[in-house]
Structure 1
Amino acid sequence: MSRIALVTGGVSGIGAATAKLMKEKGYVVAANYFGNDDEAVRFTQETGIPVYSWNVADFTASQAGVAKVEAEVGPIDILVNNAGITRDGTLHKMTEEQWRSVIDVDLGGCFNMCRAVIEGMRERRFGRIVNISSVNGLSGQFGQTNYAAAKAGVIGFTKALALEGAARNITVNAIAPGYTDTGMVAAVPQEALKTVLATVPVGRLGTPEEIARGVLYLAEDEAGFITGATLSINGGKYMA
């Protein structure tokens, strides 16, 4: 029987690449999204992957969303926490809304989604959770105290939950992508992007597919001895 995977933020960028690759490799995949219905419809038409809309920052909505996926698709074996947003600004100009919205989606969403699946994984004694962090959660980044804090928090969350899940054959790992060719990075002004690329030893952006291959590796049954790890896929920008 094929493993069932749920990818949040799964209809564009890294999430879409991950969902498509996992389906290609024989997994049964569902994708979560929030806010862009037209994009979600196109994604399903192109891939055949069912999509479900809820805001991962909302605890109750996440519980209900997971329940619906499990009722219609089946028990979730693999959770990929990819949903995330940015609201950049230097701290002395950052609003409370900019701070809270990023923390609530990028870190709070990780808690909400893991909380919604963890009991089922424990009962079935199997689970694979892959949390998407960021190179900026490791290195920090000017103008991103909110995002860097959230993504660093994801790494700490990953390590702690890995300890809790290990005895039940539940692995929890993080991936810290570098600058990747997604809509989020496309919004960065070109001059600023050139400056960033100058700090990447391989001299280019990553592709969503390169990140997706890392997720697939950690999601496999055979990856059971890898837990609490953070896989950096960043072109050499930050080595730790």
Structure 2
Amino acid sequence: MKTNNLHHFSFQLPKNLIHCIFISMLSFCFLPSSVAQTTEQIWLEYRPTYVFTPKVKLDMRLSFRDEFDDTNWHTWEARFIPVLKLGKGFDVNLGLSFLETSQSLVLSTTEVRLAPGVRYNLPRERVELGAWLRVELRWVHDKQESAWNYTTRPRLRFFADIPINAKSMEGDHFFYASSFVEFFYQDDSDVQERYAQKLWMRVGLGYKLNQNLRFEVLYTRQDSKNTIQTSFEDLTNENIFVLALRHKLKTKQKKVPATK
């Protein structure tokens, strides 16, 4: 007698969805009630991770960002983050980023970022929750004035990945909800940029194909400030749509010859 396969399908939507909605609503509480301007952007991201050992890995990101309404603004980014796990959910990391940005019709910048950080992942089997604190050291080169400007920017992120139709994030072939809220501290520096981030709130849907590949469709609400002395309004909100591919790469394990 054949059994119904639906009985073997673990569907955890109601409880997990409540968690995701709660995190999203909490994030929206920090959004400003009104701003001067709202724009839309598209971000394309490839995020490979090279795993050397269970405690050492290299997170990377290659991204292209463009604005729908303003054809003058776009940016390319390459980021590298060596990560060392310390145990009990903690790791230390050091980010190195390179960015090329067309800020406006008359302003282009090259930026180098160095970002030491510490991250805590809550030891939970079913969901991935945690916090990430970084301090960015930013060197921004104004190509028009041929000058380098330096500034620091602390940033704090709270994140969550919650499986939808699986019992944990460790399996294969399941959907998950992804969410984070991140706060930026902007000082009064001489750096001129079209979007000086103040707040990120991201929610979206991911699909984990296997242990090496994940696909994500995400929406980010960004609160930022325009620090360029132009006719643009100072405060803006950006609706950002993100398409991301996460790819895990591993070193080949050396085969130990069998002893006779």
Q: By the TM > 0.5 criterion, same fold? A: no
User: Taking structure 1 as the reference length, what is the TM-score of the superposition?
Assistant: 0.31
